[in-house]
Amino acid sequence: MAILALPETRILVHGIGNPLARFQCEEMLRHGTRLTGIVAVDPGDTEHWHPPNIPVFQSAWDAMASVKADLSMIFSPPYAVKSEVSEAVAAGIPIIVCLTEHVPLHDAVLIRHLAKRAGVTLIGPNSSGVLSPGRAKAGFFVEDICLPGNVGVITKSGSLAYAALAEMKSAGIGISTVVAIGGDVVKGTGFREHLALFHADLETQAVVLLGEIGGCDEEQAAAFIRDAATKKPVVAFISGRSVPLGHSMGHAGAIAERGRGDYHSKSRALAAAGVHVAENIGEIPRLLKLLPR
Amino acid sequence: MRLDLSPNGCDMLLLEHRGKALFRKHGVPTPAGVVVTDGSSLAQALLSLPPRLVLKAQVATGGRGKSGGVAFADGAEEARRALAALLGSRINGHSVQSVLVEERIAFTRERYAGIVIEDGEIRLLFGRSGGVDVEDITAADPTNFVSITVDPIEGPAFDQLQACFARLDYAPGCRAAYERIGCALFAMSRTYDATMIEINPLVELPEGGLVALDARLVIDDGALDRQPDIAAMQPHPNVTSRAPNTFAGLKFRENSEGGAIGLIGLGGGLNVALMDWIASTGSKVAVLVDIDEAIGAGQALQGFAAALEAFNRNPSIRSVLINIITCGYRLDEIVASLLLALGPDAGQRAKPVILHLRGNGMASAQQLLTTAGWPNSPSIAAAIEAVVAAAKS
């Protein structure tokens, strides 16, 4: 069944002034995704271009009142993300994918808080989006680099996932859904939330988790996997093994992260939770093929 | 290899005296003090300060107390000598250009107060003991710190703060003052887009009341455009030299440990994974260029040309890997620019160039490469094997 982006998922695109958003609209239509509307706060943004036969709305409220949407994609400028996401949350859109990068941290904290309180699944900021090949595309991922299949992929970095998907495709391994949670310090949702979705998805038989050094998302994911009632095999890769962690700027950070956040802390925690940790990206398909069927 | 991996990796640390000015604006008491840069400004400052003084080097780095950046003085003569010793010295690699001269405060207790963004939440932190050894104290006794998760809209709740102060045995008579500190920290973090604020130590006075003896504010670089007053407070120019060198608008990240391979990649996450992989073979990436910004700016050809030219001139680079796996851009458009930058001499270059290119528009991209006679590696593993072998031959 895949997760988050399904054949019936109706999608709104916000921030059409961004050329990336316009390109993605064309790509979504090419992939057969149900692009249901454009939200343009500034009417000038759609004066010269908008996809043919797709309605344009001035707010998420207007969009929800006239077409029912399941997912919003946010391409708005960094300082506009706070208001755009707040409005989408208030309008009742259940899944919000924020692709904008360089969102101020305090704004990210606020929209994360609002989404949690409202029961909205916020993905990002700085997410590369979601793709369920053959079903729907809500982000930068394209079907050219992957195959449909039964492995779920959760990643911080978009580019790392592109490489993993391409390597999996070369080995004949396909995916149910790939979801990019974003590499920023503050994220709407993390590995844990999407691991839970993949655990509940009948089609997904294994999960690939792509992490990187810094923070403690991977350690938390390891704890989640260790304690989960339903288990699916997980293969993980952590980038940054050859890069020492940056110097922490204060006592608080040093105390909070003591012994966590580096490559060895993450790979040890994951291995202890029964995760198969790949040495490099090329090893991911090999480890997936070794999993018991 | 030294790299800024996180988007907040190079956030701006305000100099102490700038931080203290913001503290005073928000009702956080600080010692009386004056910033001086030479003997005559010191003489002027001494007129308004008591004889018992602290002189603190104004450099954007931590651990000043343990690296000779703080001096005590009794009277004008000692202050002049301490200033002369501090000015021009180097603290953790930062040259001292100004010194904060403050009244010395007599205190009964050193505490810690701070605010951070952690696990997606705003957290207030209070410490039973503070001071330069707070990390070791807390490692030995984790109950030294109490952390409160703050509602980012409402700010800290009275009950939360009181429960925290009780656990830390703050005297009931002081708790209102600590509460004001907690509220001020929250207000400042939101007002100035601070990702971290620390008051260490926050001291209790014999006659009651609190004073912030130090101030560390870290401002989110991603928000500086909407914080013009803060952005204007950049530390001394010599301490902002962390920016990587740029060439034709590209960022060239050089490996301080050397290396023989030049890497042109797309996307930070994958670039790091490629460097890890190459490092695991015993070779090293000498210079990394992320071509993302050039492509995003419609300057792919210029970007590739500038990077290749720089790699050609760099005597330590012996082979080049161009690894691009793209979804958000059209690969065929990128390849068209790349082929122009590479020129007609496929396979004849003094420094071998290995390509591994995948992505959106793969079929037409492959056609362009085949026509031009450039082989495309079948996998990352094959590309890395080839570039490492070429660097060694």
User: Which residues in chain B have their CB less than 8 angstroms from residue A183's CB?
Assistant: 6-7, 268-269
Ranges under pLDDT 70 in chain A: 244-260, 293
Among B135, B195, B268, whose Cβ lies nearest the Cβ of A105? Answer: B195
What is the rounded distance in angstroms from the CA atom of residue B204 to the CA atom of residue B212? 9
User: What percent of chain B has a predicted confidence (pLDDT) above 70?
Assistant: 92
Do the beta carbons of residue B222 and residue B353 sit within 8 Å?
no
Pairwise CB contact (< 8 Å): A239 & B273: yes
What tens digit of pLDDT does each residue of B319-337 get?
999 999 999 889 999 999 9
Please identify among residues 219-238 of chain A the ones whose CB lies closer than 8 Å to any CB of chain B. 237
Higher pLDDT, B125 or A248: B125
Rg (CA), chain A: 19
Please report the pLDDT score of residue B245 as a whole number.
43
Please report the pLDDT score of residue A282 as a whole number.
93
Please report the pLDDT score of residue B240 as a whole number.
38
CA-closest candidate to residue B58, choices B83, B25, B24, B23: B83
Q: B275 and chain A: CB distance < 8 Å anywhere? A: yes
Query: Nearest CA to CA, how far is A66 from chain B (Å)?
Result: 30
Q: Which residues contact B120 (CB under 8 A, 6 or more apart)?
A: A108, A109, A112, A186, A187
Among B225, B269, B276, whose Cβ lies nearest the Cβ of A183? Answer: B269
Please report the pLDDT score of residue B3 as a whole number.
35
Please identify among residues 150-209 of chain A the ones whose CB lies closer than 8 Å to any CB of chain B. 155-163, 166-167, 170, 183-187
Average pLDDT value for chain B:
89
Q: Which residues contact A81 (CB under 8 A, 6 or more apart)?
A: A74, A98, A100, A103, A107, A111, A125
Please report the pLDDT score of residue B138 as a whole number.
87
User: Which residues in chain B have their CB less than 8 angstroms from residue A78's CB?
Assistant: 222
B204 to each of A213, B129, B130, B137, B248, how far by Cα in Å?
Answer: 39, 11, 11, 19, 54
Please report the pLDDT score of residue A257 as a whole number.
55
Higher pLDDT, B255 or A167: A167
Average pLDDT over residues B91-119: 94
Q: How confident is the model at residue B61 (pLDDT cuts 50, 70, 90)?
A: confident
Please report the pLDDT score of residue A49 as a whole number.
74
Q: A14, A251, A264, A276: which is the annotated catalytic residue? A: A251
User: Which residues in chain B have their CB less than 8 angstroms from residue A262's CB?
Assistant: none
Active site annotation includes A113: no
User: Which residues in chain B have their CB less than 8 angstroms from residue A141's CB?
Assistant: 327
Do the beta carbons of residue B330 and residue A30 sit within 8 Å?
no
Do the beta carbons of residue A182 and residue A124 sit within 8 Å?
yes
Scanning the structure block, which residue is given the tokens 């808080």? A113
What tens digit of pLDDT does each residue of A229-264 get?
878 999 999 998 887 655 444 555 555 555 567 888
User: Which residues in chain B have their CB less than 8 angstroms from residue A258's CB?
Assistant: 139
Among B6, B62, B267, whose Cβ lies nearest the Cβ of A250? Answer: B62
Please report the pLDDT score of residue A242 as a whole number.
84
Query: Nearest CA to CA, how far is B294 from chain A (Å)?
Result: 15
What is the rounded distance in angstroms from the CA atom of residue B131 to the CA atom of residue B145? 13
Q: How confident is the model at residue B243 (pLDDT cuts 50, 70, 90)?
A: very low
Please report the pLDDT score of residue B5 as a whole number.
33
Pairwise CB contact (< 8 Å): B226 & A282: no
Give yes or no for residue B92 having a pLDDT over 90: no
Pairwise CB contact (< 8 Å): A155 & B269: yes
What tens digit of pLDDT does each residue of B168-222 get?
999 999 999 999 999 999 999 999 999 999 999 999 999 999 999 999 999 998 8
Please report the pLDDT score of residue A253 as a whole number.
53
Q: B125 and chain A: CB distance < 8 Å anywhere? A: yes
> pTM here?
0.90
Give yes or no for residue B93 having a pLDDT over 90: no
- The token pair at B393 is 């031959």
Q: B157 and chain A: CB distance < 8 Å anywhere? A: no
Query: Nearest CA to CA, how far is B173 from chain A (Å)?
Result: 26
